[in-house]
């Protein structure tokens, strides 16, 4: 019975981590698309360092159009979600591994 429960928990950890990896990869692809979308929204008439250097516009939103600033906000929200999902994923993997290690010694 104990071995069946351990096998079930191992499967649950694998499935949960698989779904989280899928979510993380999907959100990373979405982040890349948003990043490219922001590049099209640079207002070069405003000048400044953000309009001249490609990745700097993330930190100088004044060089973006209004639509570009909305995309930038969405970009950072999704980035925060990705970081939280990676934290949850690592917690699941670590706690699952610790639980399996403890059950092996009992």
| Domain range for 65 | 29-100
Which tens digits make up the pLDDT trace of 42-83? 766 665 555 555 566 666 777 778 888 888 889 889 989 999
Q: Per residue in 73-95, pLDDT tens?
A: 898 899 899 998 888 888 877 77
Q: Is residue 8 part of a domain?
A: no
User: What pLDDT score was predicted for residue 11?
Assistant: 79
> Encoding tokens for residue 77?
């929200």
In a domain, 66, yes or no: yes
Q: Provide the number of structural domains found in the chain.
A: 1
Is residue 9 in some structural domain? no
Q: 36 in a domain, yes or no? A: yes
Of the two residues 36 and 93, the one the predictor is more confident about is 36
CA distances from 23 to 49, 63, 103 (A): 34, 31, 30
**Alpha-helix runs per DSSP H in 1-106:** 2-39, 49-52, 66-105
Question: 57, 51 in Cβ contact below 8 A?
Answer: yes
Q: What is the pLDDT of residues 5-30, one digit of tens each?
A: 777 777 777 787 888 888 889 898 98
């Amino acid at each position: 019975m104990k071995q069946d429960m351990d096998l079930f928990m191992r499967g649950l950890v694998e499935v949960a981590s698989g779904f989280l990896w899928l979510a993380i990869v999907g959100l990373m692809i979405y982040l890349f698309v948003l990043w490219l979308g922001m590049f099209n929204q640079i207002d070069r008439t405003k000048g400044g360092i953000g309009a001249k250097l490609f990745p700097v516009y993330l930190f100088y939103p004044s060089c973006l159009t209004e639509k570009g600033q909305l995309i930038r906000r969405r970009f950072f929200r999704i980035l925060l979600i990705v970081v939280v999902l990676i934290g949850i994923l690592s917690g699941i993997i670590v706690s699952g591994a610790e639980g399996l290690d403890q059950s092996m010694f009992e």
